[in-house]
C-alpha cells in the first residue's frame, strides 16, 4: 500500500469543511497509514470525535488536559510521533494562532513543539480569504517552512462564491503522499524553472512589463520539489514569497533572466520556461524621468534576447526543455510553430480568454504538446494541481 506504516496526525479545526476531513482520514487509512486525529473544541461542533475514531481505530484527541489521563508531556508525545502533519481544514483563526506562536489548544501546542513537516489546508469564506491579515499570516507560515495547499474556487456554505474552499480530499491525499514518498518522480534530477514577468526600464520611474503573476511557475517549482527534484527558481518581480526547499534567484530584466538561465542550464536535467520575459525593451532608457509635456512621445523598441533560442544551441540530448505559450487565437497551431522554431521537447499553451485561465488567477487550463505530436489537455484546476499533472506527463510519457 502506498502509505504503509506511515504515521500521520490529521488536525481538524472548526470549519464546516470538517466533514471533508472524514473522507480524507478514510483515504489515508485505506492507503495503509496510521492516522491520529487531533481536533480543536470548535471542530467537535461540526463532526464528532466518534466519527474519526470509527474511521481510524484511534481515539481522537481534543483536550489539552484530558480528565484522568493528564501528563505534562501530552503534546510533546504527539509532536514527535508522526512522519507528517496535515491540518484540514485550517481556519483563519487557527492560522493566526500558529503564525504568532499561540498555544491555547492541544493542536496548536503540538504544532509549536514539532520539527516535522506540516501541511496546512485552508478553508474559509472568500471575504476572509481576501483579508490581508490572513494572507500575511500564511506568508509568515510559508516562510517558516509550512506547506500551504491552494484553496478551491466555488460556492461556499454561506452561498457566496469565490476562492476559499478547502481542497478536495483526494487532492489533499496526493499532497500528503507526495511529501511522504521518498523516491519521487524527480528524485536525483536537477530542475530549473522560470516564473513571472520581466521589467524593461523606460526611465528611472517607468517600465514595460506584462500581467504575469508568476503563480504557474511557482506551482511548477513547488511540485518539482515535492517530487524529489533539486530545484532552482528564477523569478521576475512578483508578489509571492520564496517557496521553501529550493534556491530562488530574483531578477528584473530579460537580460538578467537570460544570464541566470544560461549560466545554470548546462548542469540541469529539466528547464521549464514558465516566465513571461519581455519580447521588446526601450531602445534607449532615459537617465531622468520623462516629463509630461502634452505632446506625443514616440518610444522606439528593440528586441530582447530569446532565452529559449539561446539555450537550444548548447543543450545536450539528455536535457528536457519545456516552453510556455500564451495565445489568444489559434492556440495549438501557434504553439506548434514555437515548439519547432525553438527546438523544444514540449510546449504548454494556454489562452487567457478561456474561463479559469486568465492572468493572476489561482486556476489554469492548458494543453501540453510534445515534439512527437502528442497532445494532452488539462482542464480547469488549481495551478498546483495543473503543475502536478504537467510533471506526471513530462516524466511518464514513455519517452524518457
295 cis-preceded (ω within 30 degrees of 0): no
Instruction: Yes or no: say if 232 and 192 are a contact pair by the CB < 8 Å rule.
Output: yes
Between CA 243 and CA 29 the distance in angstroms is 29
CATH number corresponding to 7-180: 3.40.50.1950
- Who's near 164: CB < 8 A, 6+ residues apart? 122, 123, 124, 125, 126, 128, 129, 151, 152, 156
Torsion 368-372-373-376 (CA) sign: negative
Q: Per-residue confidence at 399, pLDDT binned at 50, 70, 90? A: very low
Q: What positions carry a catalytic annotation?
A: 158
- Mean pLDDT, the chain, whole residue set: 90
Which among 343, 340, 341 is positioned nearest to 316, based on CA atoms? 343
The domains spanning 7-180 and 190-285+295-396 adopt the same CATH topology = yes
For 258-270, what is each residue's pLDDT tens digit? 999 999 999 999 9
Distances (CA, A) of 132 to 137, 139, 304, 352, 354: 9, 10, 36, 26, 28
- In this structure, the strands spanning 200-201 and 247-250 are unpaired
pLDDT at 115: 86
Cα Rg of the chain, angstroms: 23
Q: Per-residue confidence at 235, pLDDT binned at 50, 70, 90? A: very high
Extract the C-alpha cell encoding 3.
502509505
CATH tag for 190-285+295-396 (out of 3.90.226.30, 3.40.50.620, 2.30.140.10, 3.40.50.10300) = 3.40.50.10300
Between CA 168 and CA 261 the distance in angstroms is 36
Torsion 214-217-220-226 (CA) sign: negative
pLDDT at 38: 97
For 142-193, what is each residue's pLDDT tens digit? 888 899 998 888 776 666 777 888 999 988 998 898 888 655 688 889 999 9
Rounded mean pLDDT, 376-397: 88
For 23-67, what is each residue's pLDDT tens digit? 999 999 999 999 999 999 999 999 999 999 999 999 999 988 776
pLDDT at 72: 57
- pTM of the full predicted structure? 0.60
Instruction: Yes or no: say if 154 and 382 are a contact pair by the CB < 8 Å rule.
Output: no
Instruction: Yes or no: say if 246 and 233 are a contact pair by the CB < 8 Å rule.
Output: yes
Domain boundaries, the chain: 7-180, 190-285+295-396
| pLDDT exceeds 60 at position 398 | no
Would you tell me the crossing angle of helices 92-99 and 106-113 to the nearest 10 degrees?
A: 40
| pLDDT exceeds 80 at position 318 | yes
Q: What angle do CA 391, 400, 191 make, to 5 degrees?
A: 50
Per-residue buried b or exposed e for 173-192, using 16+ beta carbons within 10 Å of the residue's own CB: bbbbbbbbbeebbbeebbbb
Long-range contacts of 169-173 (CB under 8 A, 24+ apart): 169/20, 169/21, 169/23, 169/24, 169/27, 170/27, 171/382, 171/385, 172/24, 172/86, 172/88, 172/119, 172/121, 173/24, 173/27, 173/28, 173/31
Amino acid at each position: 500500500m502506498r502509505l504503509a506504516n506511515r504515521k500521520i496526525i490529521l488536525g481538524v479545526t472548526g470549519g464546516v469543511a470538517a466533514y471533508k476531513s472524514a473522507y480524507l482520514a478514510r483515504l489515508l487509512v485505506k492507503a495503509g497509514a496510521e492516522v491520529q486525529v487531533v481536533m480543536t473544541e470548535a471542530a467537535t461542533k461540526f463532526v464528532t470525535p466518534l466519527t474519526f475514531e470509527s474511521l481510524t481505530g484511534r481515539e481522537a484527541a481534543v483536550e489539552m488536559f484530558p480528565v484522568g489521563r493528564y501528563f505534562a508531556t501530552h503534546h510533546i508525545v504527539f509532536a514527535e510521533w508522526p512522519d507528517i502533519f496535515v491540518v484540514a481544514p485550517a481556519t483563519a483563526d487557527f492560522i493566526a494562532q500558529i503564525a504568532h506562536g499561540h498555544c491555547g489548544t492541544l493542536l496548536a501546542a503540538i504544532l509549536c513543539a514539532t520539527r516535522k513537516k506540516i501541511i496546512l489546508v485552508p478553508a474559509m469564506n472568500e471575504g476572509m480569504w481576501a483579508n490581508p491579515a490572513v494572507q500575511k499570516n500564511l506568508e509568515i507560515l510559508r516562510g517558516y517552512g509550512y506547506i500551504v495547499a491552494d484553496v478551491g474556487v466555488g460556492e461556499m456554505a454561506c452561498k457566496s462564491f469565490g476562492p476559499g474552499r478547502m481542497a478536495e480530499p483526494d487532492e489533499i491525499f496526493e499532497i500528503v503522499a507526495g511529501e511522504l514518498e521518498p523516491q519521487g518522480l524527480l528524485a536525483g534530477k536537477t530542475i530549473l524553472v522560470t516564473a513571472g514577468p520581466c521589467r524593461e526600464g523606460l526611465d528611472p520611474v517607468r517600465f514595460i512589463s506584462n500581467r504575469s503573476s508568476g503563480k504557474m511557475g511557482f506551482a511548477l517549482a513547488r511540485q518539482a520539489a515535492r517530487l524529489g527534484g533539486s530545484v532552482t527558481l528564477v523569478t521576475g518581480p512578483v508578489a509571492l514569497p520564496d517557496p521553501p526547499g529550493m534556491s530562488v534567484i530574483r531578477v528584473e530584466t530579460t537580460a538578467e533572466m537570460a544570464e541566470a538561465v544560461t549560466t545554470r542550464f548546462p548542469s540541469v536535467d529539466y528547464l521549464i520556461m514558465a516566465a513571461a520575459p519581455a519580447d521588446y525593451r526601450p531602445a534607449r532608457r532615459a537617465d531622468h524621468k520623462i516629463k509630461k509635456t502634452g505632446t506625443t512621445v514616440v518610444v522606439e523598441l528593440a528586441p530582447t534576447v530569446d532565452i529559449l533560442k539561446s539555450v537550444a544551441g548548447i543543450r545536450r540530448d539528455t536535457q528536457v526543455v519545456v516552453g510556455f505559450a500564451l495565445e489568444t487565437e489559434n492556440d495549438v497551431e501557434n504553439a506548434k510553430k514555437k515548439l519547432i522554431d525553438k527546438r523544444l521537447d514540449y510546449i504548454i499553451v494556454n489562452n487567457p480568454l478561456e474561463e479559469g485561465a486568465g492572468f493572476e488567477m489561482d486556476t489554469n487550463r492548458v494543453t501540453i504538446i510534445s515534439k512527437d505530436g502528442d497532445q494532452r489537455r488539462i482542464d480547469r484546476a488549481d495551478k498546483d494541481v495543473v503543475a502536478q499533472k504537467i510533471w506526471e506527463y513530462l516524466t511518464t510519457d514513455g519517452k524518457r
